[in-house]
Amino acid sequence: MLKVACIVDDDVSAFELAVAGEVFGYDRTDRGVPRHDFRVVTQTPGPVRVAGGLDLPMMVEHGLGFADEADLLILTPYAQCEYDGECSLAVSRVLQRAVERGARVLALCSGAFVAAKAGILDGRRATTHWRHIDGLAAQFPHIALERDALWVDDGPVTTSAGTAAAIDASLHVVRQLHGAQAAAVIARSMVVPPLRDGGQSQFAVGPVAEQRAETLAPLIDWMVAHLDEEHTVASLARRANLSERTFARRFREELGTTPAAWLTSQRVQRAQALLEATDLGLDVVAQQAGFGTAALLRHHFTRQLRVSPSAYRRRFAVPETAAAAQPSALQPGGM
């Protein structure tokens, strides 16, 4: 059982704290998701103020000693460590020791300031909420900030963009720790997509990509159910009863990316599920996922996930009994 420590302090953000608890603290062992020893910790155990419109105290029983044993440390945003605020030296040292001993750190939203002030982002790529990224860049010029990313992995540290991107980053860490099927189970429970396309710049004009598929929603459902077929902008535009130019513009407006990029992402997710839950050869996986050939599957899979399909299968193959318990992962739209 992996140990997960969620570090908080006064005026902790209610949303990111709830995301951490929902993803890593909720028991889903009945659906094949490994359970974590999840604990909320703080420097001085006792009442901690919860912000985010709630303005209520939360009793935190555990100190930082558990964080020194944790396999994953989660940093939630709390007001006093943003911008010119001071961060706890004890927390900084816990984070430094965590990175030194090979533990993972997940900094949600402006929790990146906590990681930055601990020095564990020096020389690394990172991101944070688009409203805070200029402030982070000004204070920490040695961090390579990716302004449009929903989340960024660099070594043992994962950082996320604002608010809802905490879900994206958390599910990404679950995929890394336990595989795509575990992430898919959690995502379905939370009624969110397990992997979103596009960057955080899209949030300046509307909500998340999959939730913005309004006029194109019926077409999107059909595309997910027919990933193994060949699609072009022309054929999809005809099905949507739109001109090619109007279709391409509306697709980007509603889903935040191009039809080709969206299809590739969905096909990689389908390939992940097939690689985890079946022993099908790569040629068959490629055909069922819509890539056609194993060579094309390897190209897109490795480019998107930075690991080959064979290596992914060796790491995340699901035992036959577990796969049988989650048949919906292979159904159209199940990912």
Q: Could you tell me if 175 and 232 lie in one domain?
A: no
pLDDT at res. 202:
35
pLDDT at res. 327:
39
pLDDT at res. 217:
85
- Residues 32, 180: Cα–Cα separation, whole Å: 12
Confirm whether 239 is domain-assigned.
Answer: yes
Coil/strand/helix, residue 238? helix
Domain count across the chain: 2
* Spans of the chain, pLDDT less than 70: 80, 82-85, 196-214, 318-335
186, 203, 228 — which closes off a domain?
186
Q: Could you tell me if 277 and 179 lie in one domain?
A: no
186, 204, 236 — which closes off a domain?
186
Q: Could you tell me if 231 and 169 lie in one domain?
A: no
Q: Which backbone phi and psi does 173 adopt, to 5 degrees? A: -65, -40
| pLDDT tens-digit readout, 177-215 | 998 889 989 988 998 877 765 555 434 322 233 434 568
Residue written as tokens 């697709």? 251
Q: Could you tell me if 21 and 158 lie in one domain?
A: yes
Q: Could you tell me if 245 and 308 lie in one domain?
A: yes
What percent of the chain is helix, strand and coil (3-state, nearest 5)? 50, 15, 35
Q: Is residue 248 classed exposed, middle or buried when 0-12, 13-18 and 19+ CB atoms within 10 A define those classes?
A: middle
End-to-end CA distance of the chain: 25
Host domain of residue 30? 2-186
Q: Could you tell me if 155 and 53 lie in one domain?
A: yes
Q: pTM above 0.95?
A: no
CA distances 276 to 99, 263, 318, 321, Å, are 29, 20, 5, 12
List the CATH number of the domain containing 324: 1.10.10.60
| pLDDT tens-digit readout, 226-256 | 999 999 999 999 999 999 999 999 998 888 7
List the CATH number of the domain containing 40: 3.40.50.880
DSSP 297: H
Confirm whether 161 is domain-assigned.
Answer: yes
Confirm whether 97 is domain-assigned.
Answer: yes
pLDDT at res. 194:
74
Confirm whether 22 is domain-assigned.
Answer: yes
Angle, helix 309-316 to helix 282-289, in steps of 10 degrees? 100
DSSP 167: H
Q: Count of alpha carbons within 13 Å of 130, Cβ hemisphere only? A: 13
Residues 31, 185 contacting (CB under 8 angstroms) = yes
pLDDT at res. 318:
62
